[in-house]
Structure 1
Amino acid sequence: MLAFLVDQAQQVGDSLFQALWAKMGSKRRLWKKVLSLFECFHFPSFRRLYETLLDFQKIPLPNTS
């Protein structure tokens, strides 16, 4: 239920999430992209992850040290 609540709050109140959702075309595609990056790379925040997906910024390399 908590995950659903957070998802709903983002849909309504987070303009970055809304822009990313519009760009991806569907929430299913958006969450697939988020999951694929989330599993492979470290992001300091979801905001940074969303910005990376939205702007196609350079993906940070994983910290191997």
Structure 2
Amino acid sequence: MKYSEIAALSTEELTARVGEEKKNLTKLKFAHAVSAIENPSRITKIRKDIARLTTELTKRKAAAVVAEA
């Protein structure tokens, strides 16, 4: 997921997307533990997407705090 796509999402959509990606990561890790998966690099990609989404959420929360002050 590109940063421009992440920036276009609303805060609610970001929160929902983080939840979805975490579920996907859990399922993928379980599938990888049980048997080999086709593309194990997907685990890394999903982890990075979660980090990008979380970073954007944190950035927005910090901006909201500064705006209130």
TM-score (norm 1): 0.32
Greater relative contact order (Cα < 8 A, sep 6+): 2
TM-score (norm 2): 0.31
